[in-house]
Amino acid sequence: MAPSAQTLPTSVSDEKYANVKWEELGFGFYRTDNMYVAKCKHGESFQEGSIVPYANFQISPCSAVLNYGQGLYEGLKAYRTEEGRIMLFRPDQNALRLKSGAHRLCMPYPSVDQFVSAVKQVVLANKKWIPPPGRGTLYIRPILFGSGPILGSLPVPEYTFTVFACPVGRFHQDNAGLNLKIEDKFRRAFPSGTGGVKSITNYSPVWITLAEAKAQGFSDVLFLDAATGKNVEELFASNVFIVKGNVVSTPEISGTILPGVTRKSIIELTRDFGYKVEERVVPVEDLLDAEEVFCTGTAAIVTTIASVTFKETK
Amino acid sequence: MAPSAQTLPTSVSDEKYANVKWEELGFGFYRTDNMYVAKCKHGESFQEGSIVPYANFQISPCSAVLNYGQGLYEGLKAYRTEEGRIMLFRPDQNALRLKSGAHRLCMPYPSVDQFVSAVKQVVLANKKWIPPPGRGTLYIRPILFGSGPILGSLPVPEYTFTVFACPVGRFHQDNAGLNLKIEDKFRRAFPSGTGGVKSITNYSPVWITLAEAKAQGFSDVLFLDAATGKNVEELFASNVFIVKGNVVSTPEISGTILPGVTRKSIIELTRDFGYKVEERVVPVEDLLDAEEVFCTGTAAIVTTIASVTFKETK
């Protein structure tokens, strides 16, 4: 399990903390000191970038990302252990997912080594922003996007890969478990679309229903498949699992759900624990009939679902 | 027809041209002098912005548009007439479409008056970039996007509305008409998605198939509906019409195709010319059986389709 968790080199001397009220830390944007930036021209490959002070980008008003949504993001976390070590959780998996998304959106991409190196550099350059053990994590956000100007036709002349980081607390504030709404109208993804990669185009289109659900008191929404509207897919930004007896089931990777890094790890872990794990089509009925439901994600970690509401039924 | 086409005030004295080889003008990014920028905080409304020198934006690496794809664009054109007047084509229609998209993507939006005023200011501030009559047009690109930083949860703290412009020649270079490929795998939009608004999220996800089609020698792709894969929807960035006898048919507005401003005008015009116009479901068979096929768009204007290829059949 987690063969690629990595320990970063640290020195005790610079082990100081930023001036943060760690006990009040939520999950949101928090400006830190440094970020990583690499650029790449059309037809070339990404070369090593550099750590620069965190600042706004200069970006063309006619850039591919601003006009045509050409962008991907990743999310991973750095943890501080009780022993003072700094750990990353499987950063190579995020690198591979970014590569897959870059193919889908016609972009060049950093190599796995470059991606992991950039993440490590950003963590070390913002070390004082990593919360104390148990108080939170440093959330790391790599993004890859078309930064060059384009009007009408390909190619995009320039791409940017950047990594920044924010200290975060808990993503979900519901201590007793999440109250989920099964979304019966809006779909998140469709076959041949971008649901299987971490494209920026998957997110803002479903804010409208997430905002409505939150206004109604729900913690999150659970999307159904676009083709039939009968099977569960995933939450806004996490995968879903159901448990019945000795069987743990989760929607299979078929192009419309995100192949979560935490999802993959939980599948490996539950198998190690002796459960039978099924990656399959999961009808809504199976979820409503389950003994236990939970969701997994880098931001969400592993979170229990307390209730599920489908149409008028809770 | 075109009740809202507008003439802008001009003065003969500043009627100079920029140093452009107009006869070589294609359709692509071309840097001009000035752009319009207005910003708006969460919970507030857009106030009047200002004309500033064209330059790169300063944007947060953690902005909503870069990380979650929250953005819309519009496209319209300013024309120079033989009499030296400058004309806009129905800019209020673009303003209304932007408003509709802003609702869908949870953004505030400029009023119709502000939108039209901004477009006029950009045209006048870049007047020397409007090509001579018959040599091209000034393509105007309004964009609206979430510019403030957001990690995880709404709201987005800041939005930006900006308008810039580029002189353009023809969008399609195929003088004898377009050679279309009917796309049998990738879909552009799905019910409940963003296909009915000009969201940036509709475009880069289908570059992969547009690029393949162009490499195969086609001019553009024609997408089928995601629900059944049997009915035609639209091209990459234009609407489609078919003609048979006295009947002109075009896919109906049902949430998955863009309500084109040129489309709307052509419907009005063809009715004025005595054709029967049907906005309806258009099966692929009807298109293959048509006597004439054409596409409409601000960039594409009205362009004849010379051939259509579906699977192996041309």
- pLDDT tier at B6, thresholds 50, 70, 90: low
Backbone conformation region of residue B236, classed left if phi is above 0, alpha if psi is from -120 to 50, else beta: alpha
The better pLDDT of the pair A7, B39 is held by B39
Q: What is the pLDDT of residues A112-152, one digit of tens each?
A: 999 999 999 999 999 999 999 989 999 999 999 999 999 98
pLDDT, residue A6, reads: 67
**What residues of B are in contact with residue A223 (Cβ under 8 Å)?**
none
Residue A155: asked if its preceding bond is cis (omega within 30°), the reply is yes
- DSSP code of A130? S
**Which of B62, B187, B201 lies at the smallest CB-CB distance from A201?**
B201
Residue A283: asked if its preceding bond is cis (omega within 30°), the reply is no
Q: Is B132 on the interface with A (CB under 8 A)?
A: no
Show Cβ contacts of residue B213 under 8 Å, excluding neighbours closer than 6 positions: B181, B183, B220, B221
Q: CA-CA distance, B123 to B138, in Å (whole number)? A: 8
Q: Is B128 a catalytic residue?
A: no
Of all helices (H) and strands (E), which one includes residue B39? strand B34-41
pLDDT, residue A299, reads: 81
Instruction: Report whether pLDDT(B227) > 80.
Output: yes
Instruction: Report whether pLDDT(A10) > 90.
Output: no
Instruction: Report whether pLDDT(B1) > 50.
Output: no
Instruction: Report whether pLDDT(B30) > 90.
Output: yes
Q: What is the mean pLDDT of chain A?
A: 93
Catalytic residue selected from A198, A230, A264, A314: A198
Shortest Cα distance from B29 to chain A (angstroms)?
Answer: 5
Q: CA-CA distance, B173 to B153, in Å (whole number)? A: 45
Q: CA-CA distance, B5 to B92, in Å (whole number)? A: 9
Report CB contact under 8 Å: A29, B204.
no
Q: For A251-269, give one letter per residue: b (16+ CB within 10 A) or e.
A: beeebbbbbbbbbbbbbeb
**What residues of B are in contact with residue A28 (Cβ under 8 Å)?**
150-153
Report CB contact under 8 Å: B66, A143.
yes
Q: What average pLDDT does the segment B251-257 reach? A: 95
DSSP-derived pairing of the beta strands B137-146 and B158-168 = antiparallel
Report CB contact under 8 Å: A58, B56.
yes
- pLDDT tier at A12, thresholds 50, 70, 90: very low
Q: Is B87 on the interface with A (CB under 8 A)?
A: no
Q: What is the pLDDT of residues B74-105, one digit of tens each?
A: 999 999 999 989 999 999 999 999 999 999 99
Q: Is B151 on the interface with A (CB under 8 A)?
A: yes
Residue whose token pair is 């319209």: B76
Q: What average pLDDT does the segment B107-119 reach? A: 98
Q: CA-CA distance, A169 to A190, in Å (whole number)? A: 32
Rounded to 10 degrees, the C-alpha dihedral A241/A243/A246/A250 comes to -30
Report CB contact under 8 Å: A56, B56.
no
Report CB contact under 8 Å: B29, A168.
no
pLDDT, residue B5, reads: 62
Give start-end residues of each CATH 3.30.470.10 domain in chain A. Answer: 6-168
Q: What is the pLDDT of residues B131-167, one digit of tens each?
A: 999 899 999 999 999 999 999 888 999 999 999 999 9
B6-168 CATH choice from 3.40.50.720, 3.20.20.370, 3.30.470.10, 1.10.3720.10: 3.30.470.10
Q: What is the CATH number of domain B178-310?
A: 3.20.10.10
3-state secondary structure of B255: coil
Report CB contact under 8 Å: A66, B62.
no
Minimum Cα–Cα distance from A163: chain B residue: B61
The better pLDDT of the pair A306, B3 is held by A306
Question: Which B positions 13-52 lie with beta carbon below 8 A of chain A?
Answer: 27-30, 35
Q: What is the pLDDT of residues B48-82, one digit of tens each?
A: 999 999 999 999 999 999 999 999 999 999 999 99
Residue whose token pair is 């063969």: A3
Q: Is B255 on the interface with A (CB under 8 A)?
A: no
Q: CA-CA distance, B68 to B152, in Å (whole number)? A: 10
Q: What average pLDDT does the segment B117-121 reach? A: 97
Q: Report how many Cβ contacts below 8 Å link chain A to chain B.
A: 207
Beta strands in chain A (DSSP E): 6-8, 34-41, 50-53, 57-59, 71-73, 76-80, 86-88, 137-146, 158-168, 178-182, 220-224, 232-235, 239-244, 247-251, 276-280, 292-297, 301-310
- Counted residue by residue, chain B has a size of 314
Give start-end residues of each CATH 3.20.10.10 domain in chain B. Answer: 178-310
Q: Is B246 on the interface with A (CB under 8 A)?
A: no
Q: CA-CA distance, B99 to B269, in Å (whole number)? A: 25
- β-bridge mates for residue B51, sequence order: B36
- pLDDT tier at B8, thresholds 50, 70, 90: low
Q: What is the pLDDT of residues A249-284, one digit of tens each?
A: 999 999 999 999 999 999 999 999 999 999 999 999
pLDDT, residue A171, reads: 79
Q: Structure tokens of A12?
A: 């005790």
Lowest mean pLDDT among A61-75, A299-313, B179-193: A299-313
pLDDT, residue B12, reads: 45
Instruction: Report whether pLDDT(A8) > 80.
Output: no
Q: Is the ipTM of this complex over 0.90?
A: yes
Question: Which B positions 185-224 lie with beta carbon below 8 A of chain A?
Answer: 185-187, 190-194, 199-205, 207-208, 210-211, 214
Do the beta carbons of residue B151 and residue A139 sit within 8 Å? yes
Q: What is the pLDDT of residues A152-209, one digit of tens each?
A: 888 999 999 999 999 999 877 776 799 999 999 999 999 999 999 999 999 999 999 9
Shortest Cα distance from B144 to chain A (angstroms)?
Answer: 9
